[in-house]
Structure 1
């Protein structure tokens, strides 16, 4: 997500902000602009470049905009589900962008339909718009807070009206969201790399349970819920985020490099070279090589014109994507014992294909080292891992996994090693969500939520 308030080139800057976060979603993209009197939208299925290739930015005039790139975990792949979602009413318009997953969305949809609401999409994001409007008092801090307190799950929201922009983060802070400044303009983004892209400076992160209101008078903050211990998604550090982003005031590249160092301490191997699977594993591979004293080599080349395979919407596309995306460097690999560093194993098909590529290129041995703990449990917070059946580590032992993917050995980083790599201190508000690796979920769907407002 990306939003900006108070800049003459709001739509163009939102485009560049979304482009810098294209890695977060490749199914669709959209921008809603506030021209001072009404909200206008341009969105479609596809990459940011494709969606806005023929867009006329002179028709997206305004000093305020929000944008979104879609990676679906709920709702079908359809143009109607591409965000931001825009709703018009007699009392004013409302645009929504959402990162995360609402666990009780099905229940809330049922309640809304019984009360007469007709939902237009299959996305859980739309539910918030109906909840905000349900109390009949208009769109403000109270109506938004009421709506948010009915939701259970992981969410970061950007909400835009004709008068204001709102940013909200769930009480556990599972998804990232930060605020920056570009001159006098406020900027909100899922990753801080978007600030660097447009020349903005980082101001601060949105706190768990916080609702930020931005308008021409500046920035205002209230609490719609009590902050819990921060449980920022570990996969943000392991896979999703760009290495130049900072999350919870920790640089992603630095944390990945530490993951590699911890992994080298925990699971060394007799080998000749270390290679990383581009791109998210390169930092960990460098750390592993430094700690182990082995040379790091560019043994796998990535085709820069193929997207991320893990977030492809089907298994067939993932497998085809791996074949198109990665190529071994025979001159580096041939005759060598290789330590292959990857960030994670979810279904195992990608790792199997890469190990096969390396051995076809002449590698004598391939020892796979994973810079995160084994993923054994589904994610309900916005990562497309919804059942145990699809998770290779949930159904097979370490030795079985090595045999399935064709590796000579495989080891995973420990939970403690991951925490040492990510957490900068042991304060009460520090923490990461490792539910997909531990089965310990910081948010449960059946839990009761108290409505509290504090300024």
Structure 2
């Protein structure tokens, strides 16, 4: 994706169970003396595509005075854990040694870009069930409302402006009392308050672990067991790369609980209509992952086939298909195969520049200039069919088109997008929460039905500086993912949201856009501490 998006993070968890709960295998055999901490950095590296601002891990070890130990820092996994310095890395693993561990990689969809916001969060307490750490993947649409409600209680205070802190206070409140609360009751109570996307990895001072997926299933979450080793991660690839061969999805509203060294599966919320984020297949997830039984690669490949089926431009020997690396490659390959046109690498990606959609805005444009190099030897005098996975803001795509023309010397550029137009913000974990930043809305009619007209596409193409532009339609998403369209969240492509607060935030986004207010919608609607009620 040239105009890359910021995602909401990734979580991972490991537990060395008291007894085997499945056949043994290579993942279990990689554990030495019951210490699972050395496996966590590798899992987080497999989730690095989901966030590059910070990384961290927390472990449990009942033989350690500091039963919960947390290590985290700003930067990539390698940077945060100082993996390039073997002695420092070994020391960190020694300090975090334990039979249970949770981990996190972060991009900031809420809160600032500094170490205070790195996860897991840890809350110390003298009573073990009140001493906990947790990691969170998602975004709460009702963050501002929950924050205000907590502040209305006596002597509450927020040190950070982030929904993760809201969850921490909410968990702490439900863990109060003189006896350890049932974790299923804690999650059931929490679910009644939270509106939005949330996958949670929780670990307390008693060694209890919870892995939970929100009742609508916005974000993916996978798990597996091999012998005594239990593992969970935001993406299945982090588990298959460890050697797990029976990877399953956590169902929406389901939680995996480890207590007294035993794993059990429970439901903390009643089944509801699903709202799976289609962007996970389109862009965010690793192409080797499977989400709820659907292959990311095959979904992207099918999107390219559909683009070919709708193609109305005549092809000739001067035509080439060029993917925008890397997430558009599967779509471009399938599109080119169907069109009988060569698919070539006309853009070379500098892999040492991070994903610009997962970077803060101030560094996005600086990164894109050094991220792609057009090859004139491939592009010169060609009719280039540039396949992109999505267009969000278009600023970097416009810059890329200019470089393909000027540096690559292409004769024509036709853009094909393996996603419908993004017409509305996301309030569930993708960092596009304002209308003003989006490319498509100014071109679309008020009663847009998910299929851009030929006139609309022509206007968009002119704005981008290309000869033609084609998108998938909203109904095409169900075909790509091989699932009912009703199971998908289509808020960002239709402007209609699956939760009450999603719709409410959309109304706020429109008001903010009309008044010229800047900043993330859900943060703007959180009243500052001390403000009049």
Name the CA shift for 1:201/1:181 in 2 (closer, same or farther; >3 Å): farther
The one-character-per-residue Cα deviations of 1:308-328 (angstroms, maximum 9, x if unpaired) are 0111111x4211111111111
The one-character-per-residue Cα deviations of 1:369-399 (angstroms, maximum 9, x if unpaired) are 0000000000000000101111010123433
Match of residue 100 from structure 1: 138
Task: Give the alignment of 1:99-248 within 5 angstroms.
Answer: 99-115=137-153, 116-135=155-174, 136-137=176-177, 138-139=180-181, 140-162=183-205, 163-248=207-292
Please report how far the alpha carbon of residue 117 of structure 1 lies from its aligned counterpart in structure 2 after TM superposition.
2.6
Q: Output the CA distance in 2 between the equivalents of 1:323 and 1:83.
A: 31
Larger Rg: 2
1:420 aligns with 2:497: no
Match of residue 19 from structure 1: 45
Partner secondary structure for residue 134 of structure 1: helix
The more displaced of 375-384 and 397-406 is 397-406
TM score, norm. by length of structure 2: 0.80
Q: Which runs of 5+ in 1 are unaligned?
A: 448-455
Q: Output the CA distance in 1 between the equivalents of 2:76 and 2:158.
A: 26
Match of residue 47 from structure 1: 76
Match of residue 334 from structure 1: 380
Please report how far the alpha carbon of residue 268 of structure 1 lies from its aligned counterpart in structure 2 after TM superposition.
4.1
1:30 aligns with 2:56: yes
Partner secondary structure for residue 392 of structure 2: coil
Partner secondary structure for residue 26 of structure 1: coil
Does the Cα contact within 8 Å between 1:268 and 1:292 map onto a contact in 2? no
Task: Give the alignment of 1:352-367 within 5 angstroms.
Answer: 352-360=398-406, 361-367=408-414
Q: Output the CA distance in 2 between the equivalents of 1:143 and 1:364.
A: 61
Q: Output the CA distance in 1 between the equivalents of 2:312 and 2:321.
A: 11
Name the CA shift for 1:49/1:182 in 2 (closer, same or farther; >3 Å): farther
Does the Cα contact within 8 Å between 1:117 and 1:130 map onto a contact in 2? no
Q: Output the CA distance in 2 between the equivalents of 1:237 and 1:214.
A: 30
Does the Cα contact within 8 Å between 1:176 and 1:190 map onto a contact in 2? yes
Does the Cα contact within 8 Å between 1:133 and 1:143 map onto a contact in 2? no
Partner secondary structure for residue 198 of structure 1: coil
Q: Output the CA distance in 1 between the equivalents of 2:60 and 2:337.
A: 50
Q: Output the CA distance in 1 between the equivalents of 2:313 and 2:258.
A: 53
- Give 1:374's match in structure 2, choosing from 407, 421, 426: 421
Q: Output the CA distance in 1 between the equivalents of 2:341 and 2:53.
A: 39
Q: Output the CA distance in 1 between the equivalents of 2:116 and 2:145.
A: 21
Partner secondary structure for residue 188 of structure 2: helix
Please report how far the alpha carbon of residue 171 of structure 1 lies from its aligned counterpart in structure 2 after TM superposition.
1.0
Task: Give the alignment of 1:412-451 within 5 angstroms.
Answer: 412-424=471-483, 426=484, 431-445=487-501
Does the Cα contact within 8 Å between 1:423 and 1:431 map onto a contact in 2? no
Large movers: runs of 4+ above 6 Å: none
Count of residue pairs the alignment pairs up: 444
The one-character-per-residue Cα deviations of 1:140-170 (angstroms, maximum 9, x if unpaired) are 2212321222111111111111321101111
The one-character-per-residue Cα deviations of 1:104-146 (angstroms, maximum 9, x if unpaired) are 1211112222223333322201222222222424452212321
Q: Output the CA distance in 1 between the equivalents of 2:232 and 2:421.
A: 33
Match of residue 450 from structure 1: none
The more displaced of 50-59 and 330-339 is 50-59
Please report how far the alpha carbon of residue 437 of structure 1 lies from its aligned counterpart in structure 2 after TM superposition.
0.5
Please report how far the alpha carbon of residue 446 of structure 1 lies from its aligned counterpart in structure 2 after TM superposition.
8.0
Name the CA shift for 1:446/1:413 in 2 (closer, same or farther; >3 Å): closer
Partner secondary structure for residue 475 of structure 2: helix
Does the Cα contact within 8 Å between 1:16 and 1:197 map onto a contact in 2? no
Does the Cα contact within 8 Å between 2:427 and 2:502 map onto a contact in 1? no
Please report how far the alpha carbon of residue 229 of structure 1 lies from its aligned counterpart in structure 2 after TM superposition.
2.3
Does the Cα contact within 8 Å between 1:347 and 1:390 map onto a contact in 2? yes
TM score, norm. by length of structure 1: 0.94
Partner secondary structure for residue 225 of structure 1: coil
Q: Output the CA distance in 2 between the equivalents of 1:446 and 1:46.
A: 31
Q: Output the CA distance in 1 between the equivalents of 2:430 and 2:470.
A: 23
Q: Output the CA distance in 2 between the equivalents of 1:278 and 1:266.
A: 23
Partner secondary structure for residue 95 of structure 1: strand
Does the Cα contact within 8 Å between 1:24 and 1:240 map onto a contact in 2? yes
**CA RMSD between the two structures:** 1.8
Q: Which runs of 5+ in 2 are unaligned?
A: 1-10, 17-30, 83-87, 444-455, 504-533
Match of residue 87 from structure 1: 123
Partner secondary structure for residue 436 of structure 2: helix
Q: Output the CA distance in 1 between the equivalents of 2:165 and 2:134.
A: 8
Q: Output the CA distance in 1 between the equivalents of 2:437 and 2:216.
A: 27
1:411 aligns with 2:458: no
